[in-house]
Amino acid sequence: MDRTFINQRSPRPLLATALFSTSGLATAVLSTALLTTTALAAEGHDLTFQGDASFGGPHGGQSIQAALVDTASGEVLAVESGTVSAAGDPAFSFTFPGALEAGGSYAVDYWIDSNFGGGMEGTCDGMQHDHQWHIPIEADDMATTHVESHDPSTQTAVCDSFE
């Protein structure tokens, strides 16, 4: 994933100045604060994407894949796999650590290997065989948790995200 960050001057000269100045302690504290701020600014925010218990009845025990997509570029940033729980709530949960940047444009494409009336095991088949969805995700300046309910009427073809 390509990301653009603000380039800052290296804090090493500040640390060197701190070691040799009369107000070294204050400058050392400032240097440490700059190092911490730079590290935090370079990291994105976590996305947790879940399906509630309504997925358990129709899809319990079936395989699921979820892809985090940068919708501005169309790039698939990460793909996770799992199994839909028949009795759990959430029925599935995927975490994409540090993946979201505030103001970014994202979606989660996911499909369940249902093979209703045909299809191949382990392959994302058409929507008539494998349930699949495209869910826009709003990224802000903190970690995001998104919970979906099972709704076959809102399906969208997403197999291209898994090729």
- Domain ranges for the chain: 12-41, 45-162
Assign 63 to helix, strand or coil.
strand
**Position 111, amino acid:** W
Q: What is the pTM of this model?
A: 0.74
pLDDT of residue 37: 30
pLDDT of residue 43: 79
Q: 51 and 91 in contact (C-beta within 8 Å)?
A: yes
DSSP state, 33? H
pLDDT of residue 3: 35
pLDDT averages per 10-residue partition of the chain, 163 residues = 32 34 37 33 83 98 98 97 98 97 96 96 96 96 96 97 96
CA dist 40 → 13, 87, 111, 155 (Å): 20, 38, 33, 37
pLDDT of residue 118: 95
Is the domain 45-162 a CATH 2.60.40.10 member? yes
| Contacts for 47 with CB less than 8 Å, ≥ 6 apart | 68, 95, 96, 99, 100, 106, 108, 137, 139, 143, 144, 145, 146
Distance CA 136, CA 107 (A): 4
